């Protein structure tokens, strides 16, 4: 039997909602909540040599930037400051972030020989991530004093493979899809290694103190129906099967977010995850009708709403809460954006969003008695 016990925390709304337990109001956190839209993030980044990896590989800086959004906003969870691409970097692909560019790999996977060399990396190479997790937990406080729970994360095997084969971001996924259709055997081999690496990585984060874990399948939605199930979902499932469901007697919720995954919600919910993250293209009420008796739902405000006026942000928050349907306690909604927050977001609008989620959902709870 898996324990349903939750750790004692000053604020456990997020963990409760993940397990569809009653909450006083809807919890909220934001994908990429620590980042360049915050001036204090940019200041810490400068101290770290104006480099993203300088921040991510230094546990002290990683802790500082993880806590920054919590000091500004009434967020209900912290998320480890790191990146999904740390895993292929540890596999030897040579990650770098050029100034003003996206991520780049010096040694992308091009052929059969590159695939043959691929292996689950020694987790010691990722020690800086686990040290950051432990350091963030200390900064959040201990026992009943802990401010909010800490979420750990990884990319999905497929999403990591996209970067590993393309060598960086892509508009058309031509290289990775060419490999998938021409040499499915090689693609399956990459995905197997990725899945086992991701499982080991997430389990090590849990052991270091992550209290929930999230798999980002950011590019699952670029796959054809059928290909998604075989090349993305099957390997997310392979990760989930290996993940610790509890640590030190406390339940560790598992979240799966597939951008563009609206067509496949039932299949995603059937993987055995606790929470399905959805983007803004799906109506929350219909998502809930399709899978809400199995899993909690996380999402799904369009991040671009944050460019509107405060009253409009509040109205869109209200619309999102209402779309989830009657907010009976225990309904299992974790409010979030449908994808990461933009670096151009006005910080004050984030306060408007977070406060509106709490206030409006609390009011709805009261109205329903």
Please give the residue ranges that form the binding site for ligand CP3 (CB under 6 A).
31-36, 45, 52, 79, 81, 83-85, 97, 102-103, 153, 169, 216, 218, 340, 343
Taking the least distance from each CB to ligand CP3, the nearer of 5 and 43 is: 43
**323/342 with CB nearer ligand CP3:** 342
For the bound state, the minimum distance from the C-beta of residue 137 to ligand CP3, rounded and expressed in Å, comes to 15
Q: Look up 36 and say whether it is catalytic.
A: yes
Residue 235 known to be catalytic:
no
Residues contacting residue 145 through CB under 8 Å, at least 6 positions apart: 10
Q: Closest separation between CB of residue 108 and ligand CP3, Å?
A: 15
Q: Would you call 114 a catalytic residue per the annotation?
A: no
Which of these is catalytic: 13, 16, 20, 32? 32
Report which residue's Cβ sits closest to ligand CP3.
218
In the bound state with ligand CP3, the residue whose beta carbon lies nearer, of 84 and 129, is: 84
Q: Annotated catalytic residue: which of 37, 41, 61, 163?
A: 163
Q: Please, what is the minimum distance in Å from the beta carbon of residue 66 to ligand CP3?
A: 7
Least separation in angstroms between CB 194 and ligand CP3: 14
Residue 16 is a catalytic residue: no
- Using the minimum distance from each CB to ligand CP3, give the nearer residue, 36 or 183: 36
- Which lies closer to ligand CP3 via its Cβ, residue 36 or residue 362? 36
Of 13, 16, 20, 45, catalytic: 45
Question: Tokens 């598992």 map to which residue?
Answer: 254
73 assigned to active site: no
**Which residues are marked as active site?**
32, 36, 45, 83, 163
């Amino acid at each position: 039997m898996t324990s349903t016990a939750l750790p004692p925390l000053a604020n456990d709304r997020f963990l409760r909602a993940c397990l569809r337990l009653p909450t006083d109001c809807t919890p909220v956190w934001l994908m990429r909540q620590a980042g360049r839209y915050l001036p204090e993030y940019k200041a810490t980044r400068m101290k770290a040599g104006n480099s993203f990896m300088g921040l991510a590989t230094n546990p002290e800086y990683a802790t500082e930037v993880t806590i920054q959004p919590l000091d500004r906003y009434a967020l209900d969870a912290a998320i480890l400051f790191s990146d999904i691409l740390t895993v292929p970097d540890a596999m030897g692909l040579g990650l770098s972030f050029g100034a003003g560019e996206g991520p780049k790999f010096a040694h992308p996977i091009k052929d059969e020989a590159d695939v043959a060399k691929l292996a689950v990396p020694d987790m010691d190479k990722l020690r800086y991530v686990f040290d950051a997790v432990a350091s963030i937990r200390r900064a959040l406080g201990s026992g009943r004093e802990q401010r909010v729970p800490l979420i750990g994360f990884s990319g999905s095997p497929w999403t990591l493979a996209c970067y590993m084969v393309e060598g960086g971001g892509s508009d058309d996924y031509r290289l990775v899809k060419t490999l998938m259709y021409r040499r499915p055997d090689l693609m399956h081999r990459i995905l197997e290694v990725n899945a086992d690496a991701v499982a080991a990585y997430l389990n090590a984060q849990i052991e270091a103190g992550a209290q929930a874990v999230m798999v980002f399948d950011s590019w699952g939605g670029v796959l054809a129906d059928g290909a998604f199930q075989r090349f993305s979902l099957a390997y997310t499932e392979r990760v989930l099967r290996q993940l610790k469901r509890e640590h030190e007697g406390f339940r560790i919720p598992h979240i799966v977010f597939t951008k563009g995954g609206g067509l496949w919600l039932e299949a995603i919910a059937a993987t055995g995850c606790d929470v399905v993250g959805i983007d803004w293209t799906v109506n929350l009420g219909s998502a809930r009708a399709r899978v809400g008796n199995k899993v909690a739902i996380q999402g799904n405000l369009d991040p671009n709403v944050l460019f509107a006026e405060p009253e409009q942000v509040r109205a869109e928050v209200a619309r999102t809460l209402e779309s989830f349907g009657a907010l009976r306690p225990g309904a299992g909604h974790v409010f979030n954006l449908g994808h990461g927050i933009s670096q151009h977001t006005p910080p004050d609008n984030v306060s408007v969003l977070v406060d509106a989620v709490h206030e409006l959902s609390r009011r709805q709870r009261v109205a329903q008695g």
